[in-house]
Structure 1
């Protein structure tokens, strides 16, 4: 495998502060340089911000596992995401986060994930119907397709509500605006832009986009919340029903409407956007490496025989799972985790002052030559021979590891198996993705892949 999947080539040398501003306004990946992928720790001086980048896996473990309370989620990140997420477990810290996590945990037990499999399967069946309406050998915009199906899965499994195209377009367009403007807002804050100017330049758009998404979610949640408050519990078996019924053992009260809206908004962001990113990049990699695609296809046919895909089959798709894991390594959906130092602390040879920003970047650690053989190459079999737990962080680590990890893996493997069973994939000739780092790692110019229907006779 001499060919490497595309990634933005880093600059030879570190950019000046002014050039950093120009480069990172579009994507934080654009400001990386060669040493970023080799260093153990790095330092970036911003006009309004001291930022430390930590690649040393021992220090990463210290910050995310051993001394997690000394390196809480960044207040800056909380401020950035609050127009959409409010006070959700994605950005809160301390006792508030701990209580929220405990209240959410029952919704994500494996029994709950088993129950929502049928809802998940219905969304995937509708996705396949949309693909089947295209003429054979059509070029399909996969990024859009994956964004829609993962949003539909979230709507059905959390709220038992199918996502229609009009509502889907409204909410997904708003999310694109929110992502783009969040990067611009972050850079303006780091460079001391006054709030009134930042508001005019894009904060207003960002707040409006967050409101648009929250309103769509609110319209679905409100009637259910009011019904439960009136004693009508309905017959729903979705995640929202669990959130509506869970009781805080200390206060003996349920979540308020606003608290539920915050958590559902968080589940929507974390549940659809990150999985959509991962799936898009996995389909890109499968299109780039036909021999790996065929191995996955043969495994799917061998496992299924003539059956439809059921939950018991997913664990048997071992090679497909390795392909997805390798995709998560090369293109981690959340490319960086933002923390801040609660007190002065020494990290290797650097003194990190209280209040400084700390970045742990899976994008860098997953491509670091110290931790991985051929770090920029695509090799799914590496997970059978050199899996490095401490250098593999697609879902985070420690007590803040993604609460929906099992849900996301199940959904991704289900979607990939359905697509590969029916289609051969090939990247559109001459297409090169434009990798950008915003809230998630996406391709700014989409992902254009040719879908060719498989000959059913080949399955026998």
Structure 2
């Protein structure tokens, strides 16, 4: 019997527009109803928006890949993220997006898996030292540590420096505030009633964004100015590549503000999504002790007590599949909003220009007609021939098409390493009476944290 994690119980019937508005202010997951998990396409018509939710695999492929130009990224999410990410590649479209993509892709050569692995390993080793300093068997909110280690990894990859604890806590708390406020800014835009945004919420969003960007600007400015002065550099990291990137058409480099936008996007997207998924992976493993023990023995057999190596990551298939299954059940980006660039037809229904078309990995990856045991935690499905078609047509935690996440391989390697080191050293156990409450904000997090106890395994060194 596989463990089925709790998630917001869907309503029996579709809510009214008014009830949907107030439900989604807390979490967009609260606005879903039972048929959402079975429908091929749904539609919602609100005062300020026509919204179409597409779950049918052929439609998803059309919107995300085959006709991606016809369905650019919706500006709705961009409005909520603008104070933080500015005009970054995450929110732009068209020629601006293509220019940024062309300039940034070469920089990601710095994040090659073999180059990044030693940085990931060093940050993971620091994480293990922090955990070893805690009382054995103590109760912890693993979300805090998963945010710290993933932020540390992306910091080292971008800036060549580790992220210290105080900065990690500041970022975590500031981003938590930003996440909590974002739906309150987004929902009024969806409903066409922007005047309903509370000034207090807008101020909190701007304050959190300024705090995060201020930390990043302090790291970028000295190196940006040094490069402009022609001073030699010894850095071989993503920031250096971003600063040296040139527009293929004009030959221009990123301005300082553009550089901050792109680094903010890479840092925040690069650690927030991984931290979300790793936190849920720990929750799932704590409730599936049989899977946890199998993964522990797999890691022991492959790595023993030595430091992990890059080649090990391919050999620990179950650990990797634990993370892949976590991405299916708790995709960090639970919905992807696109906008119809011109009038079109979807499933014989007319869609007006400007309408919002949503592809929701949360729904597609739990769709009752596309998956066996859709709500069950079963990492073995990735080795099961019976699941091959489901994985081919209904698994898209990193998106698909031209805007597929460039950091997918990076995230998978990072998560496999972190989970392997955790499982080798610790036994994760659920806290009685504590049930995490998934909420859909910018990513899918727990409204009440994910509390576990960590028990050191006897005779197992941290390496």
Shift of 1:2: 4.5
Tell me if 1:426 matches 2:425. no
Q: Distance in 1 between matches of 2:80 and 2:159?
A: 26
What are the Cα deviations for residues 90-140 of structure 1, in whole angstroms up to 9, with x where unaligned? 111112111211211122238733222222222111111110011111111
Q: Distance in 2 between matches of 1:231 and 1:348?
A: 57
Tell me if 1:48 matches 2:51. no
Matched residue, 1:266: 265
Q: Distance in 2 between matches of 1:191 and 1:102?
A: 35
Contact 2:110 2:238 (8 Å CA) reproduced: no
Q: What SS is found at the alignment partner of 1:252?
A: coil
Q: Distance in 2 between matches of 1:104 and 1:410?
A: 21
Matched residue, 1:287: 286
Shift of 1:356: 0.7
Shift of 1:192: 3.7
Question: Greater CA deviation, 237-246 or 35-44?
Answer: 237-246
User: Unpaired segments of 5 or more residues in structure 1?
Assistant: none
Q: What SS is found at the alignment partner of 2:209?
A: helix
Q: Distance in 1 between matches of 2:2 and 2:172?
A: 37
Contact 2:21 2:187 (8 Å CA) reproduced: yes
Q: Distance in 2 between matches of 1:247 and 1:51?
A: 38
Matched residue, 2:162: 162
Matched residue, 2:304: 305
Q: Distance in 2 between matches of 1:176 and 1:444?
A: 10
Tell me if 1:437 matches 2:434. no
Q: What SS is found at the alignment partner of 2:35?
A: helix
Q: What SS is found at the alignment partner of 2:453?
A: strand
What are the Cα deviations for residues 180-204 of structure 1, in whole angstroms up to 9, with x where unaligned? 1110111122334344x52514112
User: Unpaired segments of 5 or more residues in structure 2?
Assistant: none
Q: Distance in 1 between matches of 2:349 and 2:212?
A: 41
Matched residue, 1:415: 418
Q: Distance in 2 between matches of 1:324 and 1:377?
A: 14
What are the Cα deviations for residues 334-355 of structure 1, in whole angstroms up to 9, with x where unaligned? 0000101111111113211110
> Measured at CA, do residues 305 and 165 of structure 1 come closer, stay the same or move farther in structure 2, by a change above 3 Å?
closer
Q: Distance in 2 between matches of 1:77 and 1:218?
A: 23
TM-score by length of structure 2 reads 0.96
Matched residue, 2:237: 238
> Measured at CA, do residues 194 and 56 of structure 1 come closer, stay the same or move farther in structure 2, by a change above 3 Å?
closer
Contact 1:50 1:357 (8 Å CA) reproduced: yes
Matched residue, 1:189: 189
Shift of 1:306: 3.5
Q: Distance in 2 between matches of 1:83 and 1:203?
A: 10
Tell me if 1:362 matches 2:361. yes
Q: Distance in 2 between matches of 1:237 and 1:113?
A: 14
Matched residue, 1:391: 394
Contact 1:80 1:186 (8 Å CA) reproduced: yes
Matched residue, 1:72: 72
Contact 1:115 1:237 (8 Å CA) reproduced: no
Q: Distance in 1 between matches of 2:368 and 2:198?
A: 41
Contact 2:84 2:213 (8 Å CA) reproduced: yes
Q: Distance in 2 between matches of 1:194 and 1:217?
A: 30
CA RMSD in angstroms comes to: 1.6
Matched residue, 2:62: 62
Q: Distance in 2 between matches of 1:309 and 1:324?
A: 18
Shift of 1:233: 3.5
Contact 1:116 1:237 (8 Å CA) reproduced: no
Q: Distance in 1 between matches of 2:179 and 2:86?
A: 16
Matched residue, 2:325: 326
Q: Distance in 2 between matches of 1:324 and 1:111?
A: 20
Tell me if 1:101 matches 2:101. yes
Q: What SS is found at the alignment partner of 1:390?
A: helix
Q: What SS is found at the alignment partner of 2:345?
A: strand
Q: Distance in 2 between matches of 1:405 and 1:2?
A: 27
Matched residue, 1:135: 135
Q: Distance in 2 between matches of 1:452 and 1:202?
A: 40
Contact 2:144 2:172 (8 Å CA) reproduced: no
Contact 1:24 1:30 (8 Å CA) reproduced: yes
